[in-house]
Amino acid sequence: MKRLLLVEDEEVILKALRRLLERNQFHVETATTVEEAIAAQPQSFDLVLADLRLPGAEGTSVITLADPVPVIIMTSHASVRSAVDAMRHGAIDYIAKPFDHDELLMVINRALMQFMLDVHSTEHGYEEVWPPVLVKDSAMRGTGQLPKFAKDAFRMAKDEEWEAQAEAQGHDLYLVPTAEVPLTNLHALLAYFK
């Protein structure tokens, strides 16, 4: 269960957000001021969700204190300037009130995924790999996708120029149907060069 610090001074919004987040499997602790947020040790959470306008100080002041934990800034006074300022301070994202619950959950989950990728790549030495979305027919054959699923596979457009190029290069290109195709071929390629 991910730990989230919610910093919001409006009690109605605070309670509603807490209920929403707890229903979606987050452990939520709350603060109504920047001082309370600091006392809660924001760097010990997985994510901080802070209102921009808080009593005493702006929510963006939590960003440096929470580092490296991602901070999402929310506000009912949305403007391009406030969004840019929040991002300049280091917020991972910015969301305007009133927001759709699904949109908020999407923003939170995206921020958590990005944070986890950053942690694993910087602290644990993992390398993020972006597999291709188009592969040669040989990659499809190597994983058993062709000829078995030839009718279901999406082959690149068949115009005259493409046909001539594919024939000259000796292969067709297909959209990747599953992650198995590029990952299996990347694994085979890496094993070959070891």
State mean pLDDT over 2-6: 94
116 and 64 within one domain: yes
94 and 56 within one domain: yes
CA dihedral 68, 119, 179, 24 (to 10 degrees): -50
**pLDDT value, residue 12:** 92
Q: What are phi and psi of 179, to 5 degrees?
A: -65, -20
Please tell me whether residue 59 adopts helix, strand or coil conformation. Answer: coil
**pLDDT value, residue 163:** 66
Among residues 63, 92, 123, the one where a domain terminates is: 123
State mean pLDDT over 47-66: 87
25: left (phi over 0), alpha (psi -120 to 50) or beta: left
130-187 pLDDT, tens digit each: 777 777 777 887 777 888 878 888 777 666 666 666 666 666 777 877 777 777 777 6
Read off the pLDDT band of 46 (50, 70, 90).
very high
pLDDT at 192 over 80: no
163 and 67 within one domain: no
5-33 pLDDT, tens digit each: 999 989 999 999 999 999 999 999 999 98
Quick one: which H or E segment has residue 72?
Answer: strand 71-75
* CA–CA separation, 41 and 144 (whole Å): 52
Residue in 19, 21, 172 with CA at minimum distance from that of residue 4? 21
* CA–CA separation, 5 and 30 (whole Å): 6
Residue in 185, 107, 181 with CA at minimum distance from that of residue 149? 181
* CA–CA separation, 58 and 13 (whole Å): 17
Range of the structural domain that residue 151 is part of: 134-193
93-112 pLDDT, tens digit each: 888 888 889 999 999 999 99
116 and 54 within one domain: yes
**pLDDT value, residue 194:** 63
Q: Quick check: is 129 in a domain?
A: no
